[in-house]
Amino acid sequence: MPKILEINGYKFYIYTNDHLPIHVHVVKSGKEVKVVLVPEVLIKDNHKFKIKELKRIIEIIEQHYEFIIKKWHETHH
């Protein structure tokens, strides 16, 4: 499970044996959320993140969207 990004304590992971759709896992302080990236950014399986934190996670994903997609493809070549 390589960590591909860490910003403000939010750690973004892509599991090497994961499945479609393209998505990323975000962890911080015992909280975790799965965020689908394609065909659109969509919160899935939220565990304990509050709405304000989820909005911040989405902002980070939008700022680094191309990088995250690239890392997904590199991990699942």
C-alpha torsion angle, residues 28, 34, 64, 71 (rounded to 10)? 110
Q: What is the pTM of this model?
A: 0.94
pLDDT score recorded for residue 1: 76
Q: Which residues contact 33 (CB under 8 A, 6 or more apart)?
A: 25, 26, 43, 44, 45, 46, 47, 49, 54, 57
8-19 pLDDT tens trace: 999 999 999 889
Residue 43: per-residue pLDDT: 98
Residue 48 region, left (φ>0) first, then alpha (ψ -120 to 50), else beta? Answer: left
Percent of the chain with pLDDT over 90: 91
Distances (CA, A) of 47 to 22, 43, 60: 19, 11, 18
